[in-house]
Amino acid sequence: MSFTERLVVVPLCKGFILPQFTQYNDTGDPIKHLQGFLAKMTITSNNPGVYANAFSNSLSDKALDWYMALPLKSIDSYQQTADMFIAKFGSSIQEHQDERALMDIQQGPNESLRSYHKRYNDILLTIPQVNNQVAYMDFYPGLTYGKLKKALVLETPLSKDELTARVRQYVEVEELKNKESHTKDLRDVIVRKRNRSKSPKKTPVWDRIHRDRGSLKKSDHMSIHHRRGWYDARVFGN
């Protein structure tokens, strides 16, 4: 037995019934498993010693093999059991955090398909044992709506490799369109510059005034001065 003598003699309350537990088999979040285990145990008992005795009933497969292989009299409390359990299977916590990150990934408003696919694959590489079906099922929900997303919904890829091949096709199309658009914009800029260089230069304002005054006839100058004198006489009384 892995229990110390103190735990071996823990009494059970009258009418105690062992709850039915969700089995932990070395995959999944160990902290969530402990939370679920305690939620059921606290309904039937308030004795941590009972929790320690019952914990093995919530394990299966590799997790149960680990528990049964613990050294003799190495477990003296439920808290010690929980600490050892997390120390053994704690790596699964990070794996599931990565899986959540995979599910939450979203393509940015102006993000290219190539960039989004790379970010997705970077997260995918951090998950040691990911199911291929999970991999491609999590990819398209984060895509902005477009032809690729519609195509993946209508015809789901059968493997991660198939998904990658289809994404690459759309990446090539997207980048070709962007290149053509950039070329067109550059061509438009060149045309505008050429048109500006061909347009006649505008004559400065004062040069136009001087030119216009120079084109007046002498009689026009006299008429202007005559009217100016008449205006001054009316206004200033000269």
pLDDT digit string (tens) for the chain, length 238 residues: 565 666 655 666 677 788 888 899 888 888 888 988 888 888 888 888 888 888 989 999 999 999 899 888 788 888 888 889 988 888 766 555 566 777 778 888 888 889 988 888 887 777 766 666 666 677 778 888 778 888 877 777 777 778 888 888 888 888 888 787 666 666 666 666 666 766 666 555 555 555 555 554 545 544 544 544 544 555 445 5
Neighbour count for residue 235 (Cβ, 10 Å): 8
Complete domains list, the chain, with CATH = 5-89 (no CATH), 94-197 (1.10.1200)
- The rounded distance, in Å, linking the Cα atoms of 64 and 25 is 7
Neighbour count for residue 210 (Cβ, 10 Å): 12
Residue count of the chain, please give it.
238
DSSP, collapsed to helix, strand or coil, labels residue 177 as helix
Residue 123 pLDDT: 79
**The two structure tokens encoding residue 197:** 């260089």
How far does CA 38 lie from the centroid of its chain?
Answer: 34
Neighbour count for residue 112 (Cβ, 10 Å): 14
Residue 10 pLDDT: 64
Residue 166 pLDDT: 86
Tell the residue number behind the tokens 């050294």, with chain if given: 71
- The rounded distance, in Å, linking the Cα atoms of 65 and 132 is 28
Tell the residue number behind the tokens 């059991």, with chain if given: 81
Query: E strands along 105-201, which residues?
Result: none
Degrees, nearest 5: CA angle 235-236-237: 100
59 DSSP β-pair partners: 24
Q: What is the pTM of this model?
A: 0.41
Q: Phi/psi of residue 39, each to 5°?
A: -60, -35
DSSP, collapsed to helix, strand or coil, labels residue 9 as coil
Residue 108 pLDDT: 87
Dump the DSSP string for 70-92.
SPTT-B-SHHHHHHHHHHHHTHH
DSSP 109: T
Q: How many Å from the N-terminal Cα to the C-terminal Cα in the chain?
A: 129
